[in-house]
Every structure is written in structure tokens, then in C-alpha cells.
Amino acid sequence: MLIAVDTNIMIRLAMRDDEVHYQKVIALLTEHQFFISRTVQLEMEWVLRSRYKQSIEEIANFFSLLLQKTKILCENEEELIDAICWYRLGADFADAIHLAHTKSLPFYTFDERFCKKAIQQGIAPSVSFL
């Protein structure tokens, strides 16, 4: 059965910093497929970066690993793949998710650093700066 899980479940899986909770997550994952919503993805990146001081590469690798697991379904998987690529190039994770989610629409921002390297390399949709 597909179940939605909260950020704290995924953080236990990523960090294994509480063995009792980690084993509960593994048991739950054995019985169910996890659905990771876009909002949980955003919070996961923030917690891993700010609380656990994980590097961009470590966080991107964790998300890439999630996308390979058949027992884990991420909302917006194709968009998440693009966002991870742009994140590795220095984009803010939330900005990359925003742009990936709206890539069929013109995107406007005041932030001149918005996904800058990905846009310069032509691998992200264009962005208009006000």
C-alpha cells in the first residue's frame, strides 16, 4: 500500500541518528511504499542542510538515491530530477523546485542569482529578471 510520510520519517532514514526510529522506518518501508510530497522534499533539504550540515552533494545524492528506489515514490519525479541537477550547480533547492514545477510558464523574479548556472548552461528554462 502507498502511504504518505512526514519529513521526520525520511530524516531518520537519511541520517540513522536514532536507531529505534530508524528500525521503525525500515519496518514500515518493508510493508509499504512511501510517497514523498513536494513539501516534504523541500523540508527534507532544509533540515539536512541546516540541522545536519549536509553538503549540497550529500543532499543531492540522497535525493537521487530516493528516485532509484521502487518502494519510494516522489511527487513530481521528472521535475525533481531537473531540480537536483540545478541544485548541484549551486541553485537554491526551493528555487530549483519552483522553476522545475513551472517550466512551461514564463518565470519572473527579482533574484538575479536564481538558478544562474543552470540557466547560463542552457539546461533550465529561461527566467526574466525585474
pLDDT tens digits for range 16-64: 999 999 999 999 999 999 999 999 999 999 999 999 999 999 999 999 9
Q: For the whole model, what pTM was predicted?
A: 0.92
pLDDT, one tens digit per residue, over 83-129 is 999 999 999 999 999 999 998 899 999 999 899 999 999 899 889 99
pLDDT, one tens digit per residue, over 55-83 is 999 999 999 999 999 999 999 999 999 99
How many separate domains does the chain show?
A: 1
> CA 105, 109, 115 angle in degrees (round to 5)?
80
Is the Cβ–Cβ distance between 44 and 14 less than 8 Å?
yes
Report if residue 82 sits inside a domain.
no
What is the predicted pLDDT for the residue at 103? 80
Would the pLDDT of 3 be above 90? Answer: yes
Three-class SS state of 35: strand
Report if residue 50 sits inside a domain.
yes
What is the predicted pLDDT for the residue at 104? 82
What is the predicted pLDDT for the residue at 44? 98
Q: Which domain holds residue 30?
A: 2-75
What is the predicted pLDDT for the residue at 55? 98
- For 89, other C-beta atoms within 10 Å of its C-beta total 18
Is the Cβ–Cβ distance between 109 and 69 less than 8 Å?
no
CA pair distance 25, 17, nearest whole angstrom = 12
Report if residue 38 sits inside a domain.
yes
Report if residue 68 sits inside a domain.
yes
Report if residue 127 sits inside a domain.
no
Helix ranges, 3-111 (H): 7-15, 19-31, 38-50, 56-68, 77-88, 93-101
What is the predicted pLDDT for the residue at 84? 97
